[in-house]
Copies of this chain bind each other. A is one copy, B any other.
């Protein structure tokens, strides 16, 4: 049996508090020359102190060699096996714009596209129209009357991207993409992939036809392409699994959405990094698990900007004393995936992690926090979900198994 089932069975609610500080895409590769990563190059006395007094290791968000999207990466961080819960692109799009998706809702991502006079796809992204233009077009689509018993939500994501959400009784989410992924061919018809989805396919097909009519006079964005139909997966909450009372301190909708999927409380987002400590303090009562998410490391990695990624780490480090001010029994600092500067995108490399918990964790010989230093850490290398197990244990939240 997966040992996380034992962690669940032995989980106990206690007053001890865990801070889970996640620097998105933190993991990186040593650069040529000095062999430093942005994390290794950063001046970060506070993080280094936590590493020195705590223990370190490296974790594979999903498994060796697997590059995770944000969904699987965060599921791993939260102690879930990301291979057990698929979060469809439509659901991620919806939660990523803070749309309050309900169980049974069917969500899809859509692109505005350009269709030629024969009805073939000419440009899958409609010339990457602006987000503002997107909003104008979405307003039109919202005027399409839904069929009886179904609510239709049309939401702008950014540029040419949007989310379509259907709400109603007995909707099916097993629908094929209409995006053919190629130009010069017509959009694919809406197809039900199982019997339960047949009525839903009809509703979507009606909407697509109506959208084409509504957009007929548009010069570029005269059609839509849909993909990633899905419903909310049935994910047991952190409360159900580990008896945690978790709260999310994150600015970006996508991560707030992922936190919502595992049942975190959701106070208003802090406006900037400087507001994080106050947000943590404001939610101190009634919570014992604090998910604090910093997006900027990932953005710098995606931009291939070593110096900026280093600077973000330093900014987080300066924040740390204030962030820890009120006392946590356990502090974890890690990432949902690596975004190496040299690759400018998510990668499969394990993420560095530190865990600090005075008197409770194995104080290993690691004296600073970096990808290289973590190789020698007591946490070793394992799947990311086991980091949560060890944080819960250090917090005294896992009772002895067996007599």
Chain B CB count within 10 A is highest, among A6, A81, A361, A388, for A6
Min CB gap A244→B, angstroms: 14
In the complex formed, the residue of B with least CB distance to A383 is B3
Name 20 extra pairs, CB < 8 A, besides A3-B60, A65-B393, A67-B401.
A1-B83, A3-B83, A58-B380, A65-B398, A67-B393, A68-B400, A68-B401, A69-B400, A70-B403, A71-B403, A86-B402, A88-B403, A342-B359, A343-B359, A348-B390, A350-B380, A362-B371, A365-B375, A375-B378, A376-B376
Decide if A246 is an interface residue (CB 8 Å cutoff).
no
Cα distance A69–B363 in the bound complex, in angstroms: 24
A382 at the interface (CB under 8 A from B): yes
Interface residues of A in 374-403 (CB under 8 A from B): 375-378, 380-383, 386, 388-393, 398-403
Q: Which residues of A from 336 to 389 have beta carbons under 8 Å from B? A: 342-343, 346-350, 359-365, 371-372, 375-378, 380-383, 386, 388-389
Taking the nearest CB of chain B, how far is it from the CB of A131, in angstroms?
A: 20
> How distant is A188 from chain B, measured CB to nearest CB, in Å?
20
CA distance A343 to B350 in the complex (A): 31
A349 contacts which of B10, B62, B89, B362 (Cβ < 8 Å)?
A: B362
Interface flags, A69-80, vs B, CB<8A=1, else 0: 111100000000
Q: Which residue of B349, B372, B389 is within 8 Å of A66 (Cβ)?
A: B389
Q: Please name the 4 residue pairs, one residue from A and one from B, whose CB atoms are nearest each other, closest first.
A: A3-B63, A65-B389, A380-B381, A69-B402
Query: With A363-B35, A372-B364, A398-B348 given, is the CB distance from A3 to B62 under 8 Å?
Result: yes
Can you name the residue of chain B whose Cβ is closest to the Cβ of A88?
Answer: B403
Residue A29 interfacial (CB < 8 Å): yes
Q: Is A115 at the interface (CB under 8 A from chain B)?
A: no
Q: Which residues of B contact A228 (CB under 8 A)?
A: 403
A29 touches B342 (CB 8 A): no
In the assembly, what is the distance between CA of A399 and CA of B386, in Å? 24
Quick one: closest B residue to A400, CB to CB?
Answer: B67
State which residues 1-50 of A face B: CB under 8 Å: 1-7, 10, 29-30, 35
